[in-house]
Amino acid sequence: MLLSSSWLIDISLLLSITVYILYKYFSRNYDYWKKKGVYYLKPKPFIGNLYDVITFKKTMAHWQQDVYKSTDGPYVGVFVFHKPVLSLRSPELIKEVLMKHFDHFSNRTALAPEHNQIFANTLFLLKNPEWKLMRSKVTPAFTSGKLRGMFPILKNIGHEMNMYLNKNRGLLEAKDLGTKYAAEVIARTAFGINARCFDEEKSSFYEIVSLFFDFNWKTAASQTAFFFMHGVANLLRLEFVDINAVKYLKEVFSCTIEQREKSNGKGNDLIDIIVELKKDKEFCNRMKFEGEKIVSQPMQFFAAGVETTSSAISFTLYELCIHPEIQNKLREEIRNYLTENKEITYENLTQLKYMEMCILETLRRYPALPFLDRLCNKDFTIPGTDILIEKGTLVYIPLLGLHFDEKYFPEPDKYNPERFADKSTLNKDGLYYLPFGEGPRICLGERFAMMNVKIALINILSQFAVEPTSTTPVPINFTKKSFALRSDVGLPMRLVECN
């Protein structure tokens, strides 16, 4: 039945009514922050403040940095489509959220997908209280004793890397090198697998690693949905990374666990812990620890370990490449260290003070996870105010905004390791330097990652120098296809032997 004398008019009317209803639905909360008296950025119809993110004009990290720069206040209200989100600027308030009142903000906001139980049950995405129980079980993988036991393996991998570099002098892709090293480290120390990433012939394991971390437009859209459009991600059964890479790694990890169980051997690694957990009937019943859930933690350690380590190595090499005076100073420290110590040990790594300063400065400029997110799981009143963060509200902590704020880091665009010469004042009056997060959900592998990066840099810089070429990006343009910080042209440079 026509509403008017023309079907064209009827269709136009229906479309107009539909658009109006949708507009009212998506804009129903757009006065949320105004009512609370919170400074906020004016949202656009339907999409809130996400235009630059969903159109891939900016990375999520740089969008959050721009939000941070929009005011000098302690927080900023924004909208993810129709959802109100509070972006925190105050180091004191950030400390309240991540540490003092962790019980109010214990979960992350990213989707734990119903259709992929491997990813849903990783430590990164797992929700409380299951997260707390699982974390307590896997923490022993990174005790000082475990790290000390891994050290000879890491030294061996460093030696293999240098043999590889001696055969492949000239042009170097730093991210590729960092990923090969990190993948080999994780494969051997966590899973007891020789991945052969530095072999002359292409390693099948490394090819899968490359596929796992291949950030293309498809994965970019999927990852955006995982953070901002949970319903769409679940409905379309989207995958955070390439599903073929996940299937391959699942098979590798499952076979490794099975072989360890049959042999009753010990590898001093994560697989030992997984095998013991399978024997714990109370834990298995409580967590339903079976099937795909068993490989969730190996998958988490693989993903986090490779990306964190490779990012820190490659960006440090990049900064040293374009700052030869810093590179020379660091090389001098390394050579003095090697002269004074007959061998590299777990204990004497702490002598490399300037190296640690360089790594910390790299992590300031290029944090592996450049923003933190939390979900408020019970009402929380911001101290000193009557502003209530209601249960279900998303909270963002923009690391790039904090790390590049001249109040905390003078001349923030300058690569200056000396700013970390005295760490005693760092985060003294709140939290503003957070490359590994903070509080109960701080990165479990922080010490492991730092140890890996130091061993890699010792091996590379004791023998080689890195120099810029005509293709070395200065400054770096970051790809919009990744939630992590990645150069859109890689990190090419020249590798030369130095006397």
CA dist 488 and 305 (Å) reads 22
CA angle 52, 58, 61 (to 5 degrees): 110
Give the up-direction half-sphere exposure of residue 275: CA atoms within 13 A in the CB hemisphere. Answer: 21
pLDDT for 6 equals 65
- 436: closest CA among 426, 424, 450? 450
pLDDT at 214: 83
C-alpha of 31 from chain center: 33
Model confidence at 202, pLDDT cuts 50, 70, 90, reads confident
Q: What structural domains does the chain harbor?
A: 61-100+369-434 (3.30.43.20)
Question: What's the rounded Cα separation, in Å, for the pair 312 and 307?
Answer: 8
For residue 119, the model assigns a pLDDT of 87
- Position 240 pLDDT exceeds 70: yes
Q: Is the peptide bond before 129 cis (omega within 30 degrees of 0)?
A: yes
pLDDT recorded at residue 303: 86
pTM: 0.93
Of 10-19, 55-64, 289-298, give the lowest mean pLDDT range. 10-19
Q: Mean pLDDT across the chain, nearest whole number?
A: 91
Contact present, 433 and 402 (Cβ < 8 Å): yes
129-180 residue pLDDT tens: 999 999 998 888 888 988 998 899 999 999 999 999 999 888 999 999 999 9
Percent of the chain with pLDDT over 70: 96
List, in sequence order, every residue forming a beta bridge with 395; answer none if it has no partner.
Answer: 86, 374
Report the C-alpha gap between 72 and 74 in whole angstroms: 7
Q: How confident is the model at residue 266 (pLDDT cuts 50, 70, 90)?
A: confident
Pairing of strands 170-173, 83-88: unpaired
Coil, strand, or helix at residue 42?
coil
More confident residue, 393 or 299: 393
pLDDT at 3 over 60: no
Question: For residues 351-360, b (16+ Cβ closer than 10 Å) or e, as one string?
Answer: ebebbbbbbb
Mean pLDDT of 405-409: 97
Determine the Cα–Cα distance for residues 269 and 271; give it in Å rounded to an integer: 5
| 219 pLDDT more than 60 | yes
Instruction: Assign 104 a pLDDT band (cuts: 50, 70, 90).
Output: very high
The whole-number pLDDT of residue 107 equals 95
pLDDT in tens, 424-462: 889 988 999 999 999 999 998 999 999 999 999 999 999
Q: pLDDT-based confidence at 58, cuts 50/70/90? A: very high
pLDDT of residue 340: 93
Strand 83-88, strand 394-398: pairing: parallel
Average pLDDT over residues 116-123: 89
Query: Going along 59-167, which residue ranges are E strands?
Result: 75-80, 83-88
Residue 189 banded pLDDT, cuts 50, 70, 90: confident
Asked if residue 76 lies in contact with residue 39, where contact means CB atoms within 8 angstroms, the answer is yes
Per-residue confidence (pLDDT) for residue 23, from 0 to 100: 65
Residue 2 pLDDT greater than 70, yes or no: no
Confidence of residue 249 (pLDDT cuts 50, 70, 90): confident
